[in-house]
Amino acid sequence: DQQVKQNSPSLSVQEGRISILNCDYTNSMFDYFLWYKKYPAEGPTFLISISSIKDKNEDGRFTVFLNKSAKHLSLHIVPSQPGDSAVYFCAARAQHDYKLSFGAGTTVTVRA
């Protein structure tokens, strides 16, 4: 059973515009959420995270929003740049756990 779902396999956005990636989860024990970015032939790299005690975390062009009641989070990238073209994975874990549950990923393509 997939506990973390990314329902959009791909997203195409024009350079300079906003990219919005969505993620839903089913396990109410999850309280820490992460986004990873992956380029071809490389491992996932950590991008940004959010704890369940917050509803927003911002780091430069990247902002993650968490809606606990809806079990939904989103990643906003603004403005989108060509180097942002990659696969983005949403991941989650329960407090004090070490295992991450990942979504299937969303491939973002930023068009010039």
Partner 1 sequence: GAGVSQTPSNKVTEKGKYVELRCDPISGHTALYWYRQSLGQGPEFLIYFQGTGAADDSGLPNDRFFAVRPEGSVSTLKIQRTERGDSAVYLCASSPSRGGGYTFGSGTRLTVV
User: Which residues here bind partner 1, judged by CB under 8 A?
Assistant: 4, 6, 9, 36, 41-46, 89, 91, 93, 96-105
The token pair that represents 35 in the structure block? 């986004």
**Tokens representing 18?**
């906003």
User: Position of tokens 């917050």?
Assistant: 54
Smallest gap from Cβ 109 to partner 1, in A, equals 17
Q: Which one, 15 or 59, has the nearer CB to partner 1?
A: 59
Least distance (Å) between residue 16 CB and partner 1: 29
Q: Largest alpha-carbon pair distance within the chain?
A: 42
Q: Residue 60: CB partners within 8 Å, gap ≥ 6?
A: none
Q: Which is nearer to partner 1, 69 or 98 (CB)?
A: 98
